[in-house]
Amino acid sequence: MNDKVTMLHEQSTETAEPSPPSAKGGKAEEIASRIEADINTGLLATGSWLKQINLERRYGCSRIDVRQALESLTARRLVHRIPNRGYYVSEFNERRLRDVAEVRVILEVAAVDDIIDRATPASVYELGDLAEAFNIALNKGDRIDQNNANLAFHGAMLELCTNRELVRSIMDLRRSVPVPVQKIWTSEERVRNAADEHLLMVKAIERHDRPFLRRLVANHIAYYEPAEWLDRHEWKLG
Amino acid sequence: MNDKVTMLHEQSTETAEPSPPSAKGGKAEEIASRIEADINTGLLATGSWLKQINLERRYGCSRIDVRQALESLTARRLVHRIPNRGYYVSEFNERRLRDVAEVRVILEVAAVDDIIDRATPASVYELGDLAEAFNIALNKGDRIDQNNANLAFHGAMLELCTNRELVRSIMDLRRSVPVPVQKIWTSEERVRNAADEHLLMVKAIERHDRPFLRRLVANHIAYYEPAEWLDRHEWKLG
DNA sequence: GACTATCAAATTGGCGCCATTTTTCGAGTG
DNA sequence: CACTCGAAAAATGGCGCCAATTTGATAGTC
């Protein structure tokens, strides 16, 4: 009883971060990624139950792996859990979608400063390529390709950010809402609109035009209600 | 083989959100909370290894519960995992602390609008009480009490926010860094400073003084390097 | 004397089985 | 005919055991 504290107080034998031998492992992580992918393709629709038996057959893995993967996705709010009932793909009402979009605008607009400060001609060139790749995927690829191209463009833009926690928060938010319910992909016009805005963003970065890039980013995320949004947050767009 | 899709496509039998019978359960969640609490008291220091055998004895639970709890805390970035090595309490360098603080400032400053818009005399009164309670805990309580009082004050303030996703992001960020490494608690002077700022916040809300509340919040979070921070983000403080 | 290889102890991680809870289906009754 | 009660089926969730990997130390060698 009296050794509880000492038992808990196991200092790491290595003083520094024990990260060197960090092999990337964990089968559960792989299963989580595959479930996430199937959610994003629409194979697993929002609201559908994720029965452990089906998943363990589908992905050819153990029950434990399925449970850990589902728990991981639950922590990322992509699926929801009801104890003794099971897991199901999270559902999104308009309110929640709007709230997530608003937080994304707040964070991604805040990232504009670093992006413009640290942009080099090389990175501008790379961003131009990725914007072009999105255009190509728009014409020749399926929605998966388009989504990947979109993520690649925005990921490269965020790579310019020095604040890794900011980037992580943005990425977490992006991945917390399944692709099929993201409004960008609901109409051809919106996707083309996004492609145009990508090109404008690259030019804004090239010109170091902060206010314009802020407006572009805000519009890009919350473009389905830009008037209301831009009205509410006008003061912080510079 | 050809029934894979149908097998995966289990629609929820209930069309609406099956939340009514949502009993709050999960023993692993309880264990995760207790581990989190022990991390925040400093009993489990940053960098120390979280051996599953010790934890399962300490909290009188099964190995599975410990693993799920650790996985949950890993998803919240409070602990880190190295496959085949184990879990340890996340370590924070100055860089990461600064990055987290910056994201918190971005989000909590953005929350000021809603807070002031929706503040009523009753909520102002409640916030005054909570600020006073923090003062009392500062003199009579231990650090745990002080931390709880601090969380209660800021939680009540954020309750005024309509954007629940914004509130959740802020809370997640707050809980992602253990109390012992939070700079607020490193000196008596800083805690007293925070107490004073709480009172000023209440008055700013009462007067509907947006710019001042923004500055207060920014200072409150990033007060250890206010000059640099306020310089970089001056444009968005109104 | 220092470095390396080998071996034992300890820890993590995976798998199968069973208890518990929930759901569904069917029988009985007012 | 509808409503309730009850039992069987299905799904979740927990527990113990065993293999795989890593750690730490000991002995051997250059």
* pLDDT (tens place) for every residue of chain B, 238 residues total: 333 333 344 443 333 333 333 334 567 888 999 999 999 999 999 999 999 999 988 888 888 889 989 999 999 999 999 988 999 999 999 999 999 999 999 999 999 999 999 999 999 999 999 999 999 999 998 888 999 999 999 999 999 999 999 999 999 999 999 999 998 898 889 999 999 999 999 999 999 999 999 999 999 998 555 555 555 555 555 5
List, as ranges, residues 113-152 from A with C-beta within 8 Å of B. 113
pTM of structure: 0.86
pLDDT at B18: 36
pLDDT at B9: 43
Structure-token match 């790749």, residue found: A133
Give the pair of three-digit tokens for residue A45.
């629709």
Q: CA of B91, closest CA in chain A: separation in Å? A: 8
Find the Å distance, CA of residue B81 to C1' of nucleotide D22: 15
Chain A CB contacts of B218 under 8 Å are: none
* Average of per-residue pLDDT across A200-210: 97
Question: Is residue A235 very low, low, confident or very high in pLDDT (cuts 50, 70, 90)?
Answer: low
**Between chains, do A88 and B38 touch, taking CB under 8 Å as contact?**
no
Find the Å distance, CA of residue B14 to C1' of nucleotide D3: 22
**Rounded CA gap, B194 and B130, in Å?**
13
pLDDT per position as a tens digit, A86-129 = 999 999 999 999 999 999 999 999 999 999 999 999 999 999 99
**Between chains, do A48 and B18 touch, taking CB under 8 Å as contact?**
no
Among candidates A10, A51, A96 on the partner chain, residue whose Cβ is nearest the Cβ of B51:
A10
Q: CA of A68, closest CA in chain B: separation in Å? A: 7
List the Cα angle A24/A25/A30 in 5-degree steps: 110
Chain B CB contacts of A11 under 8 Å are: 45, 47-48
Q: Is some CB atom of chain A closer than 8 A to the CB atom of B68?
A: yes
Q: What stretches of chain A show up as alpha helix (H) in DSSP?
A: 4-8, 27-41, 52-58, 63-75, 94-110, 112-118, 121-140, 143-159, 164-175, 188-206, 210-221, 226-232
**Rounded CA gap, B12 and A200, in Å?**
42
**Between chains, do A106 and B102 touch, taking CB under 8 Å as contact?**
no
**Rounded CA gap, A15 and B107, in Å?**
34
Find the Å distance, CA of residue A144 to C1' of nucleotide C14: 33
* Amino acid in the structure at residue A140: K
Q: Which of B100, B169, B210, B213 to mutate to test the interface with A (most CBs of A within 10 A)?
A: B169
Q: B50 CB contacts (<8 Å, ≥6 apart)? A: B35, B44, B70, B79, B86, B87, B88, B89
**Between chains, do A165 and B82 touch, taking CB under 8 Å as contact?**
no
* Amino acid in the structure at residue B73: L
For A92, half-sphere exposure in the C-beta direction (CA atoms, 13 angstrom radius) is 21
**Rounded CA gap, B157 and B170, in Å?**
12
Q: Is some CB atom of chain A closer than 8 A to the CB atom of B231?
A: no
Among candidates A18, A72, A113 on the partner chain, residue whose Cβ is nearest the Cβ of B75:
A72
Chain A CB contacts of B10 under 8 Å are: 48-49, 51, 54
**Rounded CA gap, A45 and A35, in Å?**
11
> Closest by alpha carbon to A106, among A61, A17, A170?
A170
* Average of per-residue pLDDT across A199-215: 96
**Between chains, do B88 and A21 touch, taking CB under 8 Å as contact?**
no
pLDDT at A28: 82
Q: Which residue of A has its CA nearest to B88?
A: A12
**Rounded CA gap, B113 and B209, in Å?**
10
Nucleotide nearest to B86 (CA to C1'): C12
- How far CA A86 is from CA of A20, A51, A89, B7, B169, in Å, comes to 38, 7, 10, 16, 25
DSSP A138-166: HHHS-HHHHHHHHHHHHHHHHHT-S-HHH
Nucleotides of strand D under 7 angstroms from a protein beta carbon: 11-17, 21-24
pLDDT per position as a tens digit, B70-117 = 999 999 999 999 988 999 999 999 999 999 999 999 999 999 999 999
List, as ranges, residues 191-210 from B with C-beta within 8 Å of A. none
Among candidates A7, A54, A110 on the partner chain, residue whose Cβ is nearest the Cβ of B54:
A7
**Between chains, do B166 and A99 touch, taking CB under 8 Å as contact?**
yes
Q: Is some CB atom of chain A closer than 8 A to the CB atom of B37?
A: no
Q: Which of B2, B3, B5, B10 to mutate to test the interface with A (most CBs of A within 10 A)?
A: B10
**Between chains, do B12 and A96 touch, taking CB under 8 Å as contact?**
no
pLDDT per position as a tens digit, A23-41 = 345 678 889 999 999 999 9
Nucleotide nearest to A51 (CA to C1'): D11
